[in-house]
Amino acid sequence: MLLVERKAIPRDEDWLYEIKFDGYRVLASTGSSARLRSRGGADATRWFPEVVAAMADMASGSILDGEVCVLDEFGRSDFNRLHARARRKGWYEGADLVVYCVFDVLVAKGKDIRSSPLEIRKATLAKLLRAHSNQVLHVTGVEDGEWLYRSALDLELEGVVGKRLGSPYLAGVRSPDWIKVKRPGAVPPERFKR
C-alpha cells in the first residue's frame, strides 16, 4: 500500500499517526525460509542478514510490511547511512546495523488479513512481535497527529504517516487512506539522482 502526500494533518479524528521512517520499504516473510523483498520486487534477503535472522526466529507463515533503517544515536532514521550499507548488498566488517521498523501485517500465520481493518492488523502485529525486539522495531501509532507532527519537526524526522482507522490494506494502491506529511526540507531533491 502506498502513501498519498498531503501538506497538513487531517482535522477529523478517525486517523492513527506514526513516525515516518526514512529507509527501504521491505516486505518480510517469517520462519525458517524468511525472505525480504523491496518495494520494487528485488530480493533483499542477502542485503540485511540481521533482519532475516530476526524473521527466521518467528513462526512461519506471516508477511510483514515495514522500513529497513539505520538509526542514529537519537533513534532517527539516517537514509544516507542505510544507502551506503545497502549498496554493498550484504554484511561487511564495520557495517551499520539495520533495524526493521514494522508497521503492518498482510498475512498472519498463513491467513491473509489485508481486508481486515487497520486496528485488527495492528493488534495482530503486536501479538506476532511481542517477543521479538532485537532487530525489529514495532511501529505503533498515536491519535494526536498534530502533536506527533510538531515532535517530528522538533526532532528533525522525515515526517508523519496517517492511516485511516477501519481501512483495509490495498496492495500496490496509492490510497487516500494512507497519507504522509513530510517535514519541509526533509528529503533534498538531489537524493534520488544517485
Q: How far is CA 174 from CA 9, 30, 84, 86, 124, in A?
A: 18, 26, 28, 26, 23
Q: How far is CA 147 from CA 19, 153, 165, in A?
A: 11, 10, 18
State the Cα–Cα distance between residues 151 and 27, nearest whole angstrom.
28
Q: What ranges in the chain are assigned the alpha helix state H?
A: 49-56, 79-87, 118-129, 145-155
Q: Is 134 exposed, middle or buried (0-12, 13-18, 19+ CB in 10 A)?
A: exposed
182 is catalytic: no
Beta strands in the chain (DSSP E): 2-5, 15-20, 24-29, 35-38, 63-69, 99-108, 111-112, 136-138, 159-164, 174-182
Amino acid in the structure at residue 170: L
Per the residue annotation, which of 20, 122, 163, 182 is the catalytic one? Answer: 20
Catalytic residues: 20
